[in-house]
Structure 1
Amino acid sequence: MQEKLATPKSKLQATEDWTVVILGFMVIGLFVAGLEINIPSYKWSQWSEIGKVVSPQSLFGILQQFVLVYALILFGNLIMRKPIKGVIKTFPIVFLLTVFALIVAGNAFMKEMGLEAVIFSLLIGLFVGNVFTLPKWLKDALSAELYVKIGLVLLGTSVIFSDILEAGTLGLVQSLIVVLSVWYFAFWLCKKLKVDDELTMMISSAVSICGVSAAIATSGAIKGDQKKLSYVVSMVLITAIPMMLGMPYLAKMMGLSQEVTGAWLGGSIDTSGAVVASGSLVGDRALEISTIVKFSQNVLLGVAALAISIYWTYKGAPSGSSVEKPSMKIIWERFPKFVLGFIAASLLFSFYLTPETVTNVKGSIKEMQTVWFALAFTSIGLETNFKDLIGNNNLKPFMAFLTAQFFNIIITLLIAMWLFNN
């Protein structure tokens, strides 16, 4: 009976690829149709302010998010014809751990350091998964890849084409040059160091485009190993902190203008939070330019994910395999459909919805996107053995990442001086 349910021939059964698009657009449709959810407040700086996080209004918002995501996950499993018994028991546990991670990430100091919620989700998941012996039914019901891809579909709503045009020609030019040159250098370096194909793609995208989001999108595009994704995300967040704190002082020592400094920070620091924090250390103009440049890089994520998806699906089996190049039909079957969802969401919010509607719903959708990504990394942590995460990844990927990041810093500085040194 199980075999019959698993067969892809059933017309009433959705694949996971299409399910993430369906669920992602269900979230979008609900908010566009007028669904309102209290956005929980996770911001606090002192222990005395924790009361705001657990206020009735905030707790009600958390409960609303739980009910919405829980219902969507159960519906997704039903249309994929997957068992829901384990999900019914597992999801509340994953959600509670994720909320704890969001509370930790909401601390003012953590925000200043540019640390994103996903790193705390991963760390908490790793702690629980390695300290306690988790039952098999819990691990079997984890759905990290599903959560990641739904978050990526929602990410498309933040790529608004009118905003891209307003970002400024210089910012777009710099972003295009930096992304192409740094991505190719990182790819070439990883190949030289014999880093495996999946890590090569994730590292190249993370260091050249927009850090964590790019690594997540690339992993989704190539159906990558979630443990390798955790490794790359950890590298991104570890290097972002010293760059965020050190680069403003280097810029001051070199006598760079605020415009050049902002372009340098925005083009080379990988996480948006760290870019904002670093730009703030320099001045208002540096903050403005750094934000524009980082946003310009972020909008290239959809294009990059599409290109990587096409390359990876055509590439087919790993190098050394005797499998023939796939036909167009096989390429379509392998092609990650969340990329189409990402692009469709971007087009919907750019050209079809009114600016008022976009303004009204983008905050709620952004919040839900954060929740989906955080849930994904909690799940990854729970199913990952810490020794495997560290031990199975030798130093070569880390060396490749650091070298590519250094190249990124140098090339971005030169381009920023060329374009913004009036």
Structure 2
Amino acid sequence: MSTSTKQFNLHEDWTVVILGFLIIGISLFIFLPEVPVFKWTNGTDLINNVFEIKNTQTIGLQFLYFISIGTIGTFLVGKSVKNFILGFPIIYFLTIIALIIAGNSEVKALNLEAVIFSLIIGLAIGNFFTLPEWFRAALSTELFVKIGLVLLGTSVIFSDILKAGSLGLIQALIVVLSVWYFAFWLCKKLKVDDELTMMISSAVSICGVSAAIATSGAIKGDSKKLSYVISIVLVTAIPMMIFMPIIAKYFNFPEEVTGAWLGGSIDTSGAVVASGTLVGETALKISTIVKFSQNVLLGLAAFAISIYWTYTHNNSSETISKPTLKVIWERFPKFVIGFILASILFSFFISPEVRDTVKDNLKNLQGVWFALAFTSIGLETNFKDLLQNNSRTPLFAFLIAQLFNIIITLFIAFLLFNK
């Protein structure tokens, strides 16, 4: 249980924007945190390179850097700083193991990224061991992944956004509207309850966890149902993240099409980034832009949902606020603003020479934040939740809607991005 006094309780999305630019500012004006070496071929290499004294010191200094930034973020969002300081070393240690595994030359040849091993390690521990509540409360998945996403903006130069942004928005509009309506219709046919129907429809069509949370807030939904939908989103993102890039490579899809397909159909931003990384730099950038195009629609979707819910459930004894422009702003994912500002900063205000100096450093920091996020996702995801008898119908609805999403998004990606 949290024991901290909440002197501040800043919105998490604003917190990650602040932290993202704090990291950027440190890299530009104060110092560049050294990048640890994780590359190795055999046991001798492992000892002489990865576990070499200077490199272990670098890993230790990186730990201090990350726990300091994470502690500030934990304090700003009003969570227990004590729990975070106790739990983060475990998350960091597990993530370092994943980075070491991913650094092996044979693993690299298979094009397997550290986030996959972070996820596997987290899932193995989270599903076979009972984690204490204080530790589960210390997991800051959204904080980690959103900091990484703000930092990702430093590598997406504005000319790339202009080239793919309009197409990404067109795709987002078509996919969100068609997939949301299909999921809604399917849930009604399968007699899924109204709250789960709204959360599933938004999660599968817009942007996964963030959309489910925004929808639950708009309809004042049951937190247990929200937790269930989030579990489905996180678990189904795993095979999609791994196998969609493999399918794209097998059928030799153009990298732009693959990026648009991944960004438009995978429901979590972190998984989109991970899968895009497995394909290549172009796919990563396109997938991120497409995903953010869908994220931009989140506020408008929450606004529309709140209108629908108000007029179809107005017989409830609970008063539901009338939708206003304030609702749109409250539901809008603020970390997208951080991503765009970082992109503008590095596109127009940072010289190419300085950009080249800090590029590798920021990419390393971004990668570690993502790896930490996926370790946390694994630790907090329990497969047993998906196997309960009373959970099968909404699970089937989600999976069928997701299959529809994958097919129609691929079709639209080919229409818009195939040169």
Which TM-score band (shorter chain)?
0.7 to 0.9
Preserved contact between residue 178 and residue 412 of structure 1 (Cα < 8 Å): yes
The residue type equivalent to 1:402 in the other structure is L
- Equivalent in the alignment of 1:209: none
The residue type equivalent to 1:373 in the other structure is F
| Structure 1 residues 136 and 164, CA gap change in structure 2 (3 angstroms) | closer
Helix, strand or coil: the match of 2:56?
Answer: helix
- Equivalent in the alignment of 2:26: 30
- Equivalent in the alignment of 1:243: 247
Preserved contact between residue 174 and residue 415 of structure 1 (Cα < 8 Å): yes
Preserved contact between residue 152 and residue 366 of structure 2 (Cα < 8 Å): yes
- Equivalent in the alignment of 2:193: none
Deviations 1:226-266 (A, max 9, x none): 42441242142243254044213xx7xxxxxxxxx555545
Per-residue deviation at 1:152?
A: 2.3
- Equivalent in the alignment of 1:315: 305
- Equivalent in the alignment of 2:68: 71
Aligned 1:361-372 pairs, distance under 5 A:
361-372=358-369
Moved more, 37-46 or 152-161: 37-46
- Equivalent in the alignment of 1:192: 185
Per-residue deviation at 1:139?
A: 1.7
User: What is the CA–CA distance in structure 2 between the aligned matches of 1:179 and 1:359, rounded to whole Å?
Assistant: 32
Match 1:50 to one of 40, 46, 50: 46
- Equivalent in the alignment of 1:405: 406
User: What is the CA–CA distance in structure 2 between the aligned matches of 1:358 and 1:304, rounded to whole Å?
Assistant: 28
| Structure 1 residues 63 and 3, CA gap change in structure 2 (3 angstroms) | closer
Per-residue deviation at 1:97?
A: 1.0
Match 1:227 to one of 231, 234, 250: 231
Deviations 1:86-117 (A, max 9, x none): 22211101111111122333345554555443
Structure 1 unaligned runs (5+)? 206-213, 252-260, 279-289
TM-score, length-normalised on structure 2? Answer: 0.75
| Structure 1 residues 152 and 312, CA gap change in structure 2 (3 angstroms) | farther
- Equivalent in the alignment of 1:298: 288
Per-residue deviation at 1:370?
A: 1.9
Helix, strand or coil: the match of 2:154?
Answer: helix
- Number of residues paired by the alignment? 379
User: What is the CA–CA distance in structure 1 between the aligned matches of 2:165 and 2:275, rounded to whole Å?
Assistant: 20
Preserved contact between residue 45 and residue 109 of structure 1 (Cα < 8 Å): yes
User: What is the CA–CA distance in structure 1 between the aligned matches of 2:413 and 2:177, rounded to whole Å?
Assistant: 14
User: What is the CA–CA distance in structure 2 between the aligned matches of 1:351 and 1:153, rounded to whole Å?
Assistant: 17
User: What is the CA–CA distance in structure 2 between the aligned matches of 1:409 and 1:70, rounded to whole Å?
Assistant: 40
The residue type equivalent to 1:32 in the other structure is L
| Structure 1 residues 129 and 3, CA gap change in structure 2 (3 angstroms) | closer
User: What is the CA–CA distance in structure 2 between the aligned matches of 1:361 and 1:216, rounded to whole Å?
Assistant: 31
Per-residue deviation at 1:4?
A: 11
Per-residue deviation at 1:313?
A: 5.1
Preserved contact between residue 220 and residue 336 of structure 1 (Cα < 8 Å): no
The residue type equivalent to 1:306 in the other structure is V
- Equivalent in the alignment of 2:143: 146
Aligned 1:114-129 pairs, distance under 5 A:
114-129=111-126
Deviations 1:144-184 (A, max 9, x none): 2222222222222222113445xxx6x66765655544444
Matched, 1:157 2:161: no
- Equivalent in the alignment of 1:284: none
User: What is the CA–CA distance in structure 2 between the aligned matches of 1:147 and 1:276, rounded to whole Å?
Assistant: 17
User: What is the CA–CA distance in structure 2 between the aligned matches of 1:45 and 1:182, rounded to whole Å?
Assistant: 44
Match 2:36 to one of 36, 40, 52: 40
Preserved contact between residue 148 and residue 220 of structure 1 (Cα < 8 Å): no
Per-residue deviation at 1:124?
A: 1.4
The residue type equivalent to 1:247 in the other structure is F
User: What is the CA–CA distance in structure 1 between the aligned matches of 2:296 and 2:127, rounded to whole Å?
Assistant: 36
- Equivalent in the alignment of 1:256: none
User: What's the % identity of the aligned pairs?
Assistant: 36
Helix, strand or coil: the match of 1:40?
Answer: coil
| Structure 1 residues 264 and 41, CA gap change in structure 2 (3 angstroms) | same
Structure 2 unaligned runs (5+)? 188-195, 218-225, 264-271, 315-319
Deviations 1:118-138 (A, max 9, x none): 332222112112222222221
- Equivalent in the alignment of 2:269: none
Match 1:89 to one of 86, 89, 100: 86
The residue type equivalent to 1:185 in the other structure is S
User: What is the CA–CA distance in structure 1 between the aligned matches of 2:414 and 2:103, rounded to whole Å?
Assistant: 32
